[in-house]
Structure 1
């Protein structure tokens, strides 16, 4: 009965979405306040109904209701409770329901917390959001019903993919979808502004907190996925340029550009049409990611569906939303006034270059991701575009952006004085060069690109701190005065400092763990000793242990350094009998300086000389934890900016515009 209630709730939510997509829009066009305000009730109603449906599906997983096909295919009675709950969104149907839940959550959020938004714009925004809800609710009800029944029910389920039975993967999809789907409300704001024919500083102020929220969640989702890949897959990498990784990274890149472009629109009334275009393209890339992982184009642990019918439905939604919004943009964008003017050397120009680099970088990733799929579809010829291509194209493109990020905050609006900027940053530049030379000496050489990247990371970190110190006049006035200035500084300024410094910190991890990683893959038997990065690692053997729904071969590694015990590592090779698959559970000794990382594979018993031996992969990854530390700083910086009082209490006053374009009678 409960699954039927969930299914019925989805049908009612679709009806409300259709109403919301029409009535508020008509109200905005005709100037009828009650019709416009109906969007509040329908958006909250949608959220309530989809929440009921999601709770009904989660209950089916929690109690192991094997009359529901989704539970049978993605759960098991012996599975730990956390992963039973995570199984709710571990399938195509369940993840799509989570997608729609977040979609309605953002719509209801605008209706509840957007009291400072003009009624006509809010009505149009919520109507556009309802168009998206209508598309995905109909997709779910027609092709992907999460409540399909199975009679007679089996005695037990097939279990969730063992690779997904992990804390990182339990949290990764919700955060990733909060980012993906969060950009839908920014898209809705952009289309609503085009329908209204007006973009101004007030619009940019209203959009910024929602953009920040989506960007923060997408950052968290990507980082959780990277962290999971690092410790779970057993090869010690945190990014593989997998197509499904790329389709989450592209909206992040354009979303970063959108954040900076919206600042210019708010502060200087410029970049208006460009900001609108970025909002459209960012969500379009989110939809593209949804199409890629649900259309059957890819076979991946990240991919959900292989049904071409579903792929065609999403392709239709993709063409309708992207094609319609871009057509509207082409019609309306030329009518928008240009806004403030600025000199080639100014903060506006710096942010424009920032946007162009991020845009070109996104295009590069898009080309490398889709070209193999396109070539296979057209010529039936399979090629692989992987890490070598992206590292050779994307990474060098980002280095000028890092240089610019250090300079940008020192530039003035409208027109900047380069000699004055150099006067402020010359000490930072000299200190960065000295620190890089010291690192070169300590590392005894190494890749030139790695040292150049380290130079830019140090530059960005020190320049960011220098700019913040100048804001509070640190060491120029008494410390109590600097503290007072810091407390009165807008939180968005603290957020920018934290985020830029966080990117520099993460770069240390990216560079160190890539350029100076040490790896050994060897066959080992009890008593074998491996030396790596100054550590002596003794392989003591393997024992069989049992988990709640798996068996594991657990290795024991005694780690010493300079003859002194350091730690003991216990890598595992797990076998899940219900799913009939195995996973690698790495063991990691983590410090801020670097990680000692170990994983074991199947014994090489086929070879008589190696009978009883195991394959041991052991790595030392310098500075890798700076990736997670810097990413946390990025998210915290976004949170500080979003909590800025100016974004919480309202936007600049907006002059009223006529609800219709009908000319008054003479």
Structure 2
């Protein structure tokens, strides 16, 4: 009964969404206030109905209602309660319902907290947001219904993918979806501005909090996914340039560019067209990520579904909203004339450079991700099939390919192609942050940064002197990290003006929260850049077959396999090792890697044993038993690994601090529209 109510609530929400899509947009176009006012209650009703639907699905998972096809495929009665709940979004259908819930939540928040917006703009924003939600209602109800029943329910379910039965994956998708879907608000604001034909400083102030929130959630979601991959997959890495990882990274880069570009619109009323374009592309790339994850066109350990028909539906949504947005942008671009002018040396120029580097780096990741698909599509099939229709492959027709091509784009390409852009971004960031608006002086900006540069170079030289026989990547990472962090701190200090230290410290405490948030986020980026370079440059690795009692050296540590025992959990069995870690002959701790097997899912997993430290992690995985005796054991010493996620958390904290700034919360620049002066009738 409860699941039927959930299904009915979802259908009813779709009907409300259609009304919210049509009436406010028509009302805004015609100037009918009653129709425009309908958007606010409709947004709230949509959220309540979808929340009820999601609660009904969650209930079905919690009570193990195996009459639902989705529960059978992704749950089991012996599964821990945490993973019964997270199983709701640990699959395609449930995750899309979560996506929809977050989508209508953002729309409701725009209604609840958008009191400062002009009535016509708010109506258009909520109408466009509803249009996006209607597309996903159709996708869920027609292709991915989570409430589908079984005629003959089984006694028990087939369990959730064991790789997803992890605390990191319990929270990773919700945060990632909050970021993905949050960009729909930037998109809605952009389309609403195009429909109104007006982009001004107030619009830049309105769109910034939504973009900042989306970027913040994306940062947390990507960091959680990286952390999960680090300790759960057993490969010893934190980032693999996997297609699904790239699918979340591309909109993150564009959201960062959009966030900085909106500042220029707000402060100087420049870069209007570029900011609108970034808003459209950022949401378009979030839809592209959804297509990659759910269409099966690219192979990934993170993929939710392998269904070309669903992929085509998402591709249609991508084409309609991104293509439609770009078409509207082309038609209305002339209405977005920039008012502010600025010199070649100014903060505006630095932000333009920031935008170009972020956008080009996102494009590089996009090319590397999609290129294997393009080559495969062009070369491996003489005919293309779309639904029930076949077309001749034009590449075969012109003789461009006469044999199948196989191309693999992996980490070497991404490392070589992406890294220079991020290095350049790190170099210009501290200088650009202290340049004056409109017309600045490079000499004045560089002068206070000289001590920071000297410190960064000195630390890099010290790192180079301490390492032996290793690449220059580590020292370069030290220089860049110290330069970005020191530059962020110097930026804060320069904002206190002149005077004695006591007075400047007092002014430092009274600086706007947005300034503190910016410095915190930039410092977090510097820490992450340093940690990534340090880990890649100074990591130690050892792979061997070890017997119980063996001891071996890895870096400055000694590792001993003290024993192997059988382990049993609520829904798995396996073996666990007791690893003793020594340093300088003294025992410093035990770690317990495991090799698990989930009988219901018939799937093994590797649980790494990690001894976390401030400056290094000792990371051990247990492999299979060997025919001649002993166990395969892989050991890593990973320097500054935790600093990667520490820097990411610091970036997210910077976003939270900025969001608490009163100027962003209440949009001070959002003035109510002036009343029109009544026309004087002609005599």
Residue 467 of structure 1: CA displacement? 1.5
Q: Is residue 416 of structure 2 the alignment partner of residue 399 of structure 1?
A: no
2:464 alignment counterpart? 440
Deviations 1:424-444 (A, max 9, x none): 111111121111111111113
Cα gap change, 1:154 to 1:347, in 2 (>3 Å): same
TM superposition outliers: structure 1 runs of 4+ over 6 Å: none
Q: Is residue 25 of structure 2 the alignment partner of residue 25 of structure 1?
A: yes
2:500 alignment counterpart? 477
Whether the 8 Å CA contact 1:295–1:306 is kept in 2: the answer is yes
For the residue of structure 1 that corresponds to 2:417, the secondary structure is helix
Cα gap change, 1:412 to 1:445, in 2 (>3 Å): farther
1:361 alignment counterpart? 361
- Show the 5 A alignment for 1:159-558: 159-380=159-380, 381-444=405-468, 446-472=470-496, 476-479=499-502, 481-558=503-580
Deviations 1:540-598 (A, max 9, x none): 12100110110120001111111111001110001100000010001111111110000
The farther-off stretch of 303-312 and 382-391 is 303-312
Deviations 1:33-91 (A, max 9, x none): 12111101111110000001100000000000000000000000000000000000011
For the residue of structure 2 that corresponds to 1:582, the secondary structure is strand
Whether the 8 Å CA contact 2:473–2:537 is kept in 1: the answer is no
2: CA distance, partners of 1:231 / 1:665? 78
2: CA distance, partners of 1:142 / 1:471? 56
Q: Is residue 605 of structure 2 the alignment partner of residue 588 of structure 1?
A: no
1:630 alignment counterpart? 647
2:396 alignment counterpart? none
For the residue of structure 2 that corresponds to 1:602, the secondary structure is strand
2: CA distance, partners of 1:160 / 1:192? 41
Deviations 1:166-216 (A, max 9, x none): 000010000000000000011000000000000001111111111111110
For the residue of structure 1 that corresponds to 2:160, the secondary structure is coil
1: CA distance, partners of 2:671 / 2:615? 52
Whether the 8 Å CA contact 1:206–1:651 is kept in 2: the answer is no
Residue 445 of structure 1: CA displacement? 5.2
1: CA distance, partners of 2:468 / 2:37? 67
Cα gap change, 1:93 to 1:653, in 2 (>3 Å): closer
2: CA distance, partners of 1:198 / 1:665? 31
- Alignment counterpart, residue 640 of structure 1, candidates 657, 661, 665: 657
2: CA distance, partners of 1:170 / 1:422? 46
The farther-off stretch of 554-563 and 279-288 is 554-563
For the residue of structure 2 that corresponds to 1:531, the secondary structure is strand
2:620 alignment counterpart? 598
Whether the 8 Å CA contact 1:428–1:459 is kept in 2: the answer is yes
2: CA distance, partners of 1:360 / 1:564? 50
Is there any run of 5+ residues in structure 1 with no aligned partner, and where? none
Deviations 1:241-284 (A, max 9, x none): 00110010000000000000000000011111100000000000
2: CA distance, partners of 1:407 / 1:395? 20
Whether the 8 Å CA contact 2:480–2:530 is kept in 1: the answer is no
Cα gap change, 1:411 to 1:541, in 2 (>3 Å): same
1:44 alignment counterpart? 44
- Show the 5 A alignment for 1:63-74: 63-74=63-74
Residue 484 of structure 1: CA displacement? 2.7
Residue 654 of structure 1: CA displacement? 4.3
2:153 alignment counterpart? 153
Residue 657 of structure 1: CA displacement? 8.0
2: CA distance, partners of 1:473 / 1:434? 28
For the residue of structure 1 that corresponds to 2:448, the secondary structure is helix
RMSD: 1.6
Cα gap change, 1:98 to 1:377, in 2 (>3 Å): same
Q: TM-score, normalised by structure 1?
A: 0.97
2:5 alignment counterpart? 5
What is the aligned length?
656
1: CA distance, partners of 2:530 / 2:670? 43
For the residue of structure 2 that corresponds to 1:89, the secondary structure is coil
1: CA distance, partners of 2:481 / 2:346? 23
Whether the 8 Å CA contact 1:372–1:384 is kept in 2: the answer is yes
Residue 483 of structure 1: CA displacement? 3.8
